[in-house]
Amino acid sequence: MSHNAESTAFRSALEVIRAVEPRVADAISAELADQRESLKLIASENYASPATLLAMGNWFSDKYAEGTVGRRFYAGCQNVDTVEALAAEHARELFGAAHAYVQPHSGIDANLVAFWAILADRVESPALKKAQKRQVNDLTEAEWFALRRELGDQRMLGMSLDAGGHLTHGFRPNISGKMFDQRSYGTDPATGLIDYDKVAEAAREFRPLILVAGYSAYPRKVNFRIMREIADSVGATFMVDMAHFAGLVAGKVFTGDFDPVPHAHIVTTTTHKSLRGPRGGMVLCGPELADQVDRGCPMVLGGPLPHVMAAKAVALAEARRPDFADYASRIVDNAQALADGLLRRGASLVTGGTDNHLVLIDVSGYGLTGRQAEQALLDSGIVTNRNAVPQDPNGAWYTSGIRIGTPALTTRGLGAAEMDATAELIHTVLDRTTAGTGPDGAASKAKYVLDPAVAESVGKQAADLLTPFPLYPEVTLG
């Protein structure tokens, strides 16, 4: 039995938990087992290191720490100051940013901090001047309404959902859609690629306050130099949400025109996904927005989570190591190998391939909806998520697409040969699955038919594929 530090730490933690609520301990153990045994292809998921995971389970969880480093509303935060300052330092050095704010609890929170920072910074009004340097939250009701009148239209231009944009970029179901009058830019119907001339045309017509770039399901690079030029041409603040591809920026796979940090006024990200840290968010900006961003708590956020900021510091320190650049490069190599394998087997891919960490399969060619494909693959030990494709006839719930990504499998060490084998397994499942029917005999968008023997066979092959690449080999619980 292994007695290394990682195994000892996790086994001991589970014993302590089991003494209080054994069902929680069992669920934690089961989650590790499930992740070890399945092909995780969800583009927004990864595996954080044992050091990052352990940094979240400690006494920092017991601390309130509203405010920022050196300016807290609670006493006794000197150790929180240390880990927050370290996380911000690593973020600045890793991304070449002038300022980093590491308190956001999620990507949505990071975006809200950015939106309100932009709004507060862009306003030069009697109401704000009368309030002097107080936060927007502190304005009197009369000052607030005067400020809103002088703000005029709060307009945001971002990528449409079916083209690969994100819900937090001004869409109605999210709070951002209630804050802003939103309009979308899409992609070229023939190529699936961003048409920058069309974006510029939309910006000239709409005159947004904020131009947002970034995506959750666009499999290509974005030219942020061109996007900044478009923003400047209409006096918009240029914001980039790099939550999905932050690891590729950190690993210097995306550089020059494709690195958002030198071009954007403000950049938001999550710290998990391709960055391989804890679940959380972060904002990067220049000095002109730093003061407003640092007011994220209490303007938007509740109390910071010091234990997660400690984990962010650990993960960002890991990302500054030379081996992370190699990891980031292999993510893209694997995504392209996976895309090539699918194309050779006749799959239809949005944009015909990928430049980043994700691949978007249009499963309508298999006669399936995304929901049917997602569940059939899950039955076969392959974890993906359904996703809309451009001009999707099935909408955002059933969808016509499956989004797959390579950050997690790359962390496990799989390479091009394994990506080709994975493409074969995916194609086998999709090719052998047929759409089902409802009780009335009508075609169903959710029900499907897959021979259990096929699912079992693919699941075994998936497990065999993973055997040489154990997940957390340094951790043994039994």
* Secondary structure of 170-227 as H, E, C letters: CCCCCHHHHHCEEEEECCCCCCCCCCHHHHHHHHHHHCCCEEEEECCCCCCCCCHHHH
Task: Identify the pLDDT of residue 375.
Answer: 97
Dihedral pair phi/psi, residue 9, rounded to 5°: -65, -50
Is 273 an active-site residue? yes
Number of C-alpha atoms within 13 angstroms, CB side, residue 64?
7
Which of the four pLDDT bands, split at 50, 70 and 90, describes residue 248? very high
pLDDT digits (tens, 9 = 90+) for 57-87: 999 999 999 999 999 889 999 999 999 999 9
Instruction: Name the catalytic one among 228, 273, 330, 371.
Output: 273
Task: Identify the pLDDT of residue 132.
Answer: 46
CATH of domain 59-319: 3.40.640.10
Is 279 an active-site residue? yes
Is 270 an active-site residue? yes
Task: Identify the pLDDT of residue 181.
Answer: 80
Is 92 an active-site residue? no
The CATH 3.40.640.10 portion of the chain extends over 59-319
SS3 64: coil
Rg (CA), the chain: 23
**126: pLDDT strictly greater than 60:** no
DSSP symbol at 383: E
Pick the residue with more confidence: 95 or 291?
95
Instruction: Name the catalytic one among 18, 148, 155, 279.
Output: 279
Instruction: Name the catalytic one among 84, 143, 162, 241.
Output: 241
Task: Identify the pLDDT of residue 149.
Answer: 45
**178: pLDDT strictly greater than 90:** no
Q: How many CB atoms lie within 10 A of CB 190?
A: 7
Query: What are the counts of helices (DSSP H) followed by strands (DSSP E) for the chain?
Result: 20, 17
Residues 280 and 305: beta-carbon distance below 8 Å: yes
Instruction: Name the catalytic one among 52, 237, 269, 270.
Output: 270
Tell me the average pLDDT of the chain.
Answer: 90
CATH of domain 323-466: 3.90.1150.10
**2: pLDDT strictly greater than 70:** no
Cα–Cα distance for residue pair 236/233, rounded to 1 Å: 8
pTM of the model as a whole: 0.90
The CATH 3.90.1150.10 portion of the chain extends over 323-466
Residues 430 and 373: beta-carbon distance below 8 Å: yes
Instruction: Name the catalytic one among 63, 64, 82, 196.
Output: 64
Tell the burial category of 435 from Cβ atoms under 10 Å away from its Cβ (0-12, 13-18, 19+).
middle
Instruction: Name the catalytic one among 37, 45, 66, 89.
Output: 66
**Residue labelled with tokens 């020059």:** 256
Is 66 an active-site residue? yes
DSSP symbol at 236: P
3-state secondary structure 259-287: CCCCCCCEEEEECCHHHCCCCCEEEEECH
Task: Identify the pLDDT of residue 297.
Answer: 87
